[in-house]
Amino acid sequence: MKLAPVAMTGPNVESTVVVVHDDVTGRSSSVRLVPATDDGKIEIYASLAGMRASFGTENLLVIDYTHPNAVNDNAIFYAENHLPFVMGTTGGDRARLMDDVSSRKAFAVIAPNMGKQIVAMQAGLEYAASKFPGSFAGYGLEVTESHQSTKADTSGTARAVISSLLKLTDDDFDVAEGGGDINMLRDDESSLAFGVSREALGGHAFHTYRLTSSDGSVVFELKHNVEGRTVYAEGTADAVKFLANMVSTGMEGRVFSMIDVLEAGALDKYTNPVGDMTATTRRAATASSGAGLSSASKFDDDVNISPRITTNTVAGCDGKSTLTPLRSRRPIGISPPIISNQNDPRRGGGPLFSLVPSSPRFVSVSYMSLSLAIHLAGYELSRAAVMALFTSDGLGFGHGQGAGEGGGGGLSALPLAVGCVSPFSICLLWFYGNTLERGGPASALRAHTLICAACQIASGCALRVLDERLLRSSPNDDDRFAVHDVADAQFRSRSLLFLLFVFQNAYVQLLYNQHWAFIGSVLTPEEGARAFAPIAGLGSIGSTLAAGLVSSLVRRLGLIGLLHLAGASFVLSALLADIAFGTARGGGFEPRREDGSDDRKYGSVGPPGDISMGGRVNNANAPTSPSSMKSKGRSASRAPAQSCVQCREGGNIFHQARVLFRRVPVLGALFLEVVLSQCLSSLVNFIYLYKLKSMIADDDMRAGWSGTYYAWINGVSGILQFFVIPLLLKHFEAHRIWLFMPTLMLFCTSYTFVTFRSSGLFGASASFFAIKTMEYSLRGAANEMLYVSLDYESRYLGKKVISLIAGKFGKSAMAVALSLLMVVYGEEEDIMRYLVAISILVAASWLLTSMSLHSLIEASRK
């Protein structure tokens, strides 16, 4: 069972974070207490949705040791939200409580005492009272109970025991609400005199029941004293296991008692009462006492209470300033190096080489396709881990130990990291070019894929060491050397995560380019028309499955373990790519570099020619239908055989772009359209991540939620790309897409603005979902249909300028603007609302440029 990161507390309790630290294992976790106010309930419902997405609807259970005044309302909340719960409290209206839960067919264990030995004692007393009523007639009853000062109500255990004793005696002992004749001790001095040790003043339960004969000659005394909360934690674990088993049977929900738990034999044998099994539940109860806490937890068939802590202690989190990492879902485009296939029959106009399963080319393409799919799957795993760790509490840029309130929550650093991806990509391309010159494409792809794998694995190991250093330091440790050690560990981990973020986003699309470059060099245009869609679909399936598995993998491996798995995926991808190159080498069609040759030879068809809009298989560059691929292939065959040297004549690339845009105004309009669309994409991404981090503070849960979220994006994009768009293009002209995309985003951003405070994650996530899905599907169709109608220079130079400059400029400009805003204003909610308003203006500007582009396309068609 994993302690959930969010708990519900009373409306009069200020939102805060409780650190749950286990002295036995040395592990710590943190639970954010959210008051049950109107605003707090929004966060509670959002957190509940996030936990259900991460753990599964059936794998949530609540443990409630709440304030007496909150008992009835909490029980209704659990029942109406289909949350099985274990409640150990005596407050509230008991008759109403049982009726509310029973009438709603909810699963619950409700008991005044969770200590199984105490419950067994009570059962024995009830048996004696039923079999031997009045056997102590004439005896007077005295009861004294002592609890920690934070306990507000009378001991429920005392009331239950007294009810049995009163059946044995005829004493008129009063057990009215508020104590009655019970001698309640709540001050330290009285408790110490009663026998409580000073160490247990903060958590104890001492009870003494005295039956004295009328003449005082006979005294019977029953005493049960508990220091600490281990016995209640053990009983709670038994109740959780019992209730989980009841839920799994599929029976109708009902209310159980601890007697039911005892009779079912759902008791674990604890050989070490202070070991791992009891440590977490003991500390969870400590955090709950007096705080009005109800904590949801994940349970399996075999309930293991040993903690699985993957996050660090949160200090001073206010629920508004902690934010999730920026997921730059699409890598920024880099043009592939120029490679060609010397023996490609396309070059000499020879006969087409049939691509059949038995041919070496089919085998090599198949291996490279698998390599690509596994590479994209590894990227999904790495992205989820890095993005969650980037804004994690402790290791990342969120609220670290001792950070207090008002920290950046990670988003202050994210725009700067995004802005660094472009210059790093340029350096990376230069480094890759040198590697390509020395060893050729096979060696370059192998070396750089293994470099990527090694960085993931090494970073994971380093982060684990730093995480252990942080966990060894108590969050309340005033020792200046310990504080310095924490600060040093956080500086190292944040620096490493910053570099890893930039490295990951730059490397993924470079390697993606090279996979497609190989495939595009081996296949002819006609073969590509048939093979590119299945290959793209295979890659899409790989990334979608990996994203969907993130939640399960995080629960088993943790975020750092996810980095190691991503590294292993890249190693496997490198192995398959090596086999593909080896097969091509044996068949005499291995791609190799040719200086001064036709620049389109390497990846002349399909995705290899342009990665500008994605770094994803189902992006702007993947073909949307065989017909579009055929059109592209035919257009390529008519293009003049210009060399790279000829393409660069006439000045630098910016001068050439200006000349080209004057000659082809459509490209100039497209340039502006891409800049504004990428600005909006970055902005709605930032807003979405702000809401995500503020709603789901736990790193594991956030990574799992995001993995499921991106799996839906990938899946919907794939369906649109390979099924819906080809059908729509038969009935509608492609350039209508340019008007549809910004119009939809204008509606989405307006909805986000109106519902920013009330809709939780829905508004922000819907906007980001819409723009990402369109980038991965609709934009690809629109781009391909536009470029295919242009001349060679427009396709080659125009596409390169728009992909490398427009896309990067849009993202980088917005990253710089957001960085400045975060530095000047911080992450106040009002600032975020202004950003949502700005997103509406950007969407409107995008619509205006799209209308201009649409008009130019219409004019050119006429």
Q: pLDDT value at position 804?
A: 61
Contacts of 34 (CB under 8 A, 6+ apart): 6, 7, 8, 9, 15, 40, 43, 44, 47, 319
Q: Which has the minimum average pLDDT: 78-87, 117-126, 157-166, 421-430?
A: 421-430
Q: Which has the minimum average pLDDT: 38-42, 628-632, 645-649?
A: 628-632
pLDDT tens figures, 776-785 = 778 866 776 6
Q: pLDDT value at position 178?
A: 63
Q: Decide: 664 and 795 in contact? Cβ < 8 Å.
A: no
More confident: 113 or 344:
113
CB atoms under 10 Å from CB of 464, counted, come to 16
Q: pLDDT value at position 483?
A: 59
CA angle 693, 695, 697 (to 5 degrees): 55
C-alpha span between 765 and 453 (Å, rounded):
31
The helix (H) or strand (E) run that includes residue 163 is: helix 156-168
| Among 794, 692, 782, 851, CA closest to 50 | 692
C-alpha span between 607 and 617 (Å, rounded):
8
CA neighbours closer than 13 Å in the CB half-sphere of residue 516: 33
C-alpha span between 620 and 508 (Å, rounded):
16
- The most confident of the ranges 413-422, 626-635, 650-659, 833-842 is 833-842
User: What are 220's strand-pairing partners?
Assistant: 211
C-alpha span between 81 and 88 (Å, rounded):
19
More confident: 632 or 157:
157
Per DSSP, the three-state class of 274 is coil
Model's pTM, two decimal places?
0.51
| Among 603, 607, 614, 635, CA closest to 713 | 614
Phi-psi region of 503 (alpha: psi -120 to 50; beta: other; left: phi over 0): alpha
- pLDDT-based confidence at residue 107 (cuts at 50, 70, 90): very high
Enter the tokens of residue 487.
């600060």
CATH fold for domain 363-398+408-861: Growth Hormone; Chain: A; (1.20.1250)
CB atoms under 10 Å from CB of 80, counted, come to 11
Q: What is the DSSP string of 644-691?
A: HHHHT-SS-HHHHHHHHHHH-HHHHHHHHHHHHHHHHHHHHHHHHHHH
Q: Where are the domains of the chain?
A: 116-229, 363-398+408-861
C-alpha span between 182 and 818 (Å, rounded):
63
Contacts of 503 (CB under 8 A, 6+ apart): 424, 452, 455
Mean pLDDT in the chain?
Answer: 74
Catalytic residue ranges? 147, 151
CA distance to 103, 186, 752, per residue, from 607 (Å):
59, 73, 34
Q: What is the DSSP string of 588-623?
A: T---B--TTSBTTSTT-SSGGG--TT-SSTTSTTS-
Burial 416-442 (b: 16+ CB within 10 A, else e): bbbbbbbebbeebbeebeebbeeebbb
Q: pLDDT value at position 827?
A: 61
Superfamily of domain 116-229: Dihydrodipicolinate Reductase; domain 2 (3.30.360.10)
Q: pLDDT value at position 480?
A: 53
C-alpha span between 327 and 332 (Å, rounded):
12
* Angle subtended by helix axes 116-131 and 230-248, to nearest 10: 80
